């Protein structure tokens, strides 16, 4: 009888372990919903020419003043936080990844040091990445959040935002054109009459050296316009500025 119980417990442990492994695999391999993927701008890896219109050797940031109201005391504290983003000439963009202009250079020095030591900086490469298109004097940007970590509260989401080019170092946020890449979210926003407010102008901050745009979602085939584009990146991730005639 005791032998049967021990064998039964061992079998139960094996089943439980198998179940946990399957759960972990499913959590780490969450697929992007088709309703979001079909609205996402693909990347062909070609040179966009954005650097002929604006300076992209650095960061664009939007200072946003907010009232940090504390109900417990109550007190008001006026604070400034920064929305920031960067462009690369291969059509890639990263959004909202670092602190403020006083720490930008140090932040990227640390990232580059980790890259040189062949270490991955998760805060940067696991952030809000996506692609952009140039439409006249406007830049159409799309970014995605990828649920890399195990969490019941995390899911795919993405947004489309627009910036008007004012000059080589200044962009104007166009809130009336902002929308989600998820039609269900847009429908709910319309139902609740939610609109984006004007958060201000984006200013340029130069960076001496910027890291390559080798984010993890670039390894996904759906990120690219064709299988050939995807293979070219997989075979040579460092090549991020292909010309149209290549």
pLDDT in the model for residue 76: 53
pLDDT in tens, 164-195: 999 999 999 998 788 887 778 778 777 777 66
**Residues 79 and 12 both lie in one domain:** no
**Residues 17 and 37 both lie in one domain:** no
Residue 240 lies in a domain: no
The C-alpha atoms of residue 205 and residue 161 are separated, in whole angstroms, by 20
Residue 52 lies in a domain: yes
**Residues 124 and 86 both lie in one domain:** yes
Strands 128-135 and 157-167: unpaired
**Residues 64 and 19 both lie in one domain:** no
pLDDT in the model for residue 231: 93
Using alpha carbons, list the distances in angstroms from residue 239 to 115, 142, 242. Answer: 16, 22, 7
pLDDT in tens, 209-236: 899 998 888 999 999 999 999 999 999 8
pLDDT in the model for residue 139: 97
pLDDT in the model for residue 126: 76
pLDDT in tens, 25-69: 444 456 788 888 888 999 998 999 999 999 999 999 998 766 555
**Residues 9 and 95 both lie in one domain:** no
The C-alpha atoms of residue 135 and residue 226 are separated, in whole angstroms, by 22
**Residues 76 and 15 both lie in one domain:** no
Residue 227 lies in a domain: yes
Residue 243 lies in a domain: no
Contact indicator for 188, 156 with CB cutoff of 8 Å: no
Q: Which domain holds residue 105?
A: 31-235
Q: How many other CB atoms are there within 10 angstroms of residue 98's CB atom?
A: 21
**Residues 25 and 134 both lie in one domain:** no
Which of the two residues, 53 and 19, has the higher pLDDT score?
Answer: 53
Percent share of the chain, pLDDT over 90? 35
Q: How many domains does the chain have?
A: 2
**Residues 162 and 132 both lie in one domain:** yes
**Residues 83 and 94 both lie in one domain:** yes
**Residues 103 and 11 both lie in one domain:** no
pLDDT in the model for residue 155: 72
pLDDT in the model for residue 6: 46
pTM of the model: 0.76
Using pLDDT thresholds of 50, 70 and 90, give the confidence band for residue 99: confident
**Residues 17 and 79 both lie in one domain:** no
Residue 245 lies in a domain: no
Which of the two residues, 121 and 169, has the higher pLDDT score?
Answer: 169
Q: Answer whether the bond into residue 74 is a cis peptide, omega within 30°.
A: yes
Question: Looking at the DSSP assignment, which residues form a beta bridge with residue 206?
Answer: 58
**Residues 146 and 71 both lie in one domain:** yes
Which of the two residues, 127 and 105, has the higher pLDDT score?
Answer: 105
């Amino acid at each position: 009888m005791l032998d049967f119980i021990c064998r039964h417990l061992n079998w139960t442990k094996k089943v439980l372990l198998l179940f946990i492994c399957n759960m972990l695999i499913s959590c780490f391999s969450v697929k992007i919903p088709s309703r979001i993927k079909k609205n996402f701008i693909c990347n062909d890896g070609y040179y966009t020419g954005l650097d002929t219109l604006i300076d992209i050797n650095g960061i664009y940031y939007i200072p946003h003043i907010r009232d940090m109201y504390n109900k417990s005391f109550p007190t008001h504290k006026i604070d400034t936080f920064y929305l920031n983003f960067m462009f690369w000439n291969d059509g890639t963009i990263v959004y909202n990844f670092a602190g403020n202009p006083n720490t930008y250079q140090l932040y990227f020095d640390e990232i580059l040091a980790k890259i040189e030591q062949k270490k991955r900086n998760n805060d940067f490469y696991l952030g809000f990445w996506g692609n952009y298109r140039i439409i006249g004097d406007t830049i159409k940007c799309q970014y995605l959040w990828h649920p890399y970590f195990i969490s019941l509260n995390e899911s795919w989401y993405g947004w489309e935002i627009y910036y008007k080019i004012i000059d080589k170092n200044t962009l104007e946020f166009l809130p009336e054109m902002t929308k989600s890449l998820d039609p269900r979210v847009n429908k709910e926003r319309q139902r609740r009459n939610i609109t984006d407010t004007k958060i201000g102008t984006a200013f340029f901050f130069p960076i001496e050296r910027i890291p390559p745009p080798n984010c993890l979602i670039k390894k996904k085939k759906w990120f690219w316009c064709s299988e050939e584009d995807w293979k070219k990146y997989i075979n040579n991730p460092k090549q991020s500025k292909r010309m149209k005639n290549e």
